[in-house]
Amino acid sequence: MTDGETLATEILDGRLNAHRHAAYDHLRALVGPVRGRTPYGGVTWVVTRYDQARAVLADPRVSKVEPASAVLADPQADETFDAANNPFADNMLSHDQPEHGRLRRAVQPAFSPRRIAALAPRIQEICDDLIDGFADRGEAELIADFAFQLPMRVICELLGIASSTHDEIMTIMQVFFVEDTNQDVAELNQDAAPRLMDFVDRLIATKQSDPGTDLVTDLVQAEEPLTHREMASTIMLLIVAGFLTTVNLIGNAMFALLQDEKALLSLREDPERIPLAIEEFLRYESPFAPAVVYASEDMEVGGVKVAKDESFTVMIDAANRDPERYPDAETLVLDRAPRSHLAFGHGIHRCAGAPLARLEGDIALRTLLRRLPEVALGCQVEEVRWRADFVIHGVTALPVTFTRA
């Protein structure tokens, strides 16, 4: 392998997670996409430049559907991974048009501006309730005590999950957020996914017999009917992606602020700046790193020829720090003018739940900064650890101290 291919492979297997941005700088200097070997033994084209990432994600010649001809290039690759039985493989994120449009239309009403705005009072109540639980301690672990719980409670509201089953879904989701995991998709499916599938199956059955005013009922009663598998896969996507995105948005944002007292104080003094700051947090420390798509025909990107059925791994966090797109890209600039970051994707598969994630992040940061006077990092910066996998980007724990309520 060339030096670029070795670097790309080490990014994909997580070895360079702690130094990924330095590695991205080297790959961007190579101009076009670079071939790397995936943890499953296959090969993929790693995209790190903003212009190429945006172009690939919006290219009609690119597909989200894994080609039937795709095979694992390495005979030693994990044979237990079976994409055909992947419970996450039948939702809007894994389909092209027209199926994508049908599945997206089924969830779109739940993410309308009116319904998202209606959730704001409840999100505020949840934030205050969580902080009430540790305000008198003078210390907290913000991921476990706050950032982990907030999005799960909001998702429960959105999906109409009964309060009596909140503990069950929380326990299941803890597996998806296990500290320092190198588990791949197959291993996660073998552990948490079957339990989540069973939970979702029961949730669908409940809404079929006792409909409510929630997103699952919307799916059950969709004008363009969904199969049970499509409903289940869609609900699982909304739970997992919605949870992980918001956990990491809040955790990454607070970690950045705790390292920059001036920035923290500026937002506390003028919270109306927080919505714009949210966009910079999403750019600076994107909650998800890659998006995987496939060439549906021979094509060329950045002067590199990519054959039909070969895959691209678009590194979102690399593109969002491309200095050709963002001046002083390695610096957090809270009032940076928005320039279409890719944290929520791009093109037809752009995240449908982005408005909700932004609202949760906004209310969470406002509330934390208001209610935790003199909040400070409760450990050395070097002691804060990032997740070990390269797919989900976030800190595993964030201890803080503050003046007691």
pLDDT digit string, tens, across residues 368-383: 999 999 999 999 999 9
Mean of the pLDDT values across residues 165-174? 90
pLDDT of 69 reads: 60
Sheet with 399-401, strands from edge to edge, namely 139-141, 399-401, 376-377
Does 186 have pLDDT greater than 50? Answer: no
pLDDT at position 404 is 84
Give the per-residue pLDDT at 392: 86
92, pLDDT greater than 50 = yes
User: Does residue 81 register a pLDDT over 60?
Assistant: no
For range 155-173, the mean pLDDT? 93
Full set of structural domains in the chain with CATH? 3-401 (1.10.630.10)
Residue 10 and residue 2 in contact, taking contact as beta carbons nearer than 8 Å: no
pLDDT for residue 390: 76
Mean pLDDT of 145-149: 96
Q: Name which of 96, 69, 40 is nearest 313 in CA terms.
A: 40
In this predicted structure, what is the pLDDT of residue 66?
87
C-alpha span between 387 and 177 (Å, rounded) = 9
* Res 127 pLDDT > 80: yes
SS3 label, residue 258? helix
Residue 8 has pLDDT above 70, yes or no: yes
Does the structure show a pLDDT above 60 at 80?
no
Q: Which of 11-15, 265-269, 291-295, 380-384 has the lowest mean pLDDT?
A: 11-15
**Has residue 73 got a pLDDT over 60?**
no
Mean per-residue pLDDT of the chain: 90
Q: Give the mean model confidence (pLDDT) for residues 252-281.
A: 97
Is the per-residue pLDDT at 226 higher than 60? yes
Stretch 33-56: mean pLDDT:
94
**95, 287, 382, 389 from 331: Cα distances, Å:** 36, 17, 18, 24
